[in-house]
Amino acid sequence: MQPSKYPSPVELAIQPSSQAGKCTTVAGINQVTIIGGAGLTSAEVGKTVWLKNAGYTVARVENNKFTVTNLNGTAVSFSSSATITYICCYIWGSGKCNVSITAITRIFGDPSIPFNNIVTTFVVNGVTTTQAAYTDFWSATLSASAGTVSNVDYYWWGSVDNLFAALRVHRLSGLGLRKMYPSLPLLTVSIISMQPQTAQINIPFILALVMTLTEPPAGKSP
């Protein structure tokens, strides 16, 4: 990359779209009061929210506040009131699929390609479960039976810890656009993360980008 006019700077900007801002924990209970930022919506119930460097599960969302549980489902009681940052960011997808017990065959929509070994939660045919295995671009296996049905809606999501910006590498695979996070010929993107330096949002970030040169696996094309 180079600027079009010398000596203009070269800038690579990755803008996050996460729900983030400042909040205050309420001592003695599990409530968090939002004092800045986008806030949360009912879509975030059940998702992971990061309060500073600690992860919690969103239990309920109300006007300018939300409640949380621990990630293992146990109750939360904040020991003190603290003004900190909150970040709620997750990958998700939806579409239509055929289901046979635990086997999902995607018809169209977003593929559930695992990212960084995170747990992917699946909602399909009225059943909420997790993805047990990823077969290929079109097929996946669930951890529990979702019955047998054709052309049904599916929705999946997964928390990416407190990562809220990423650089994806795409390639065309057959008739679908395949999202290949670590698949560039001879180039592997190991980790891309952005962390706020202070308690403020939308100020300078630290960008950690690690890239390594690798040979494609034997018998595999890049």
155, 92 contact by CB (below 8 A) = yes
Q: What is the pLDDT of residues 26-60, one digit of tens each?
A: 999 999 999 998 889 998 999 999 998 889 999 99
Q: Could you tell me the pTM of the whole model?
A: 0.62
Strand 103-109 with 139-142, pairing = antiparallel
pLDDT at 104: 92
Per-residue pLDDT tens over the stretch 138-174: 888 999 999 999 999 999 988 766 555 666 665 554 4
Q: How far apart are CA 116 and CA 121, in angstroms?
A: 14
| Residue 218 predicted with pLDDT over 60 | no
pLDDT of residue 186: 29
Mean pLDDT of 183-198: 33
The label of the residue with tokens 């290929």 reads 136
pLDDT per residue as tens digits for the range 98-146: 999 999 999 999 887 766 567 788 999 999 998 888 878 788 899 999 9
Which residues, other chains included, contact 101 with Cβ-Cβ below 8 Å and sequence gap of 6+? 145, 146, 147, 148
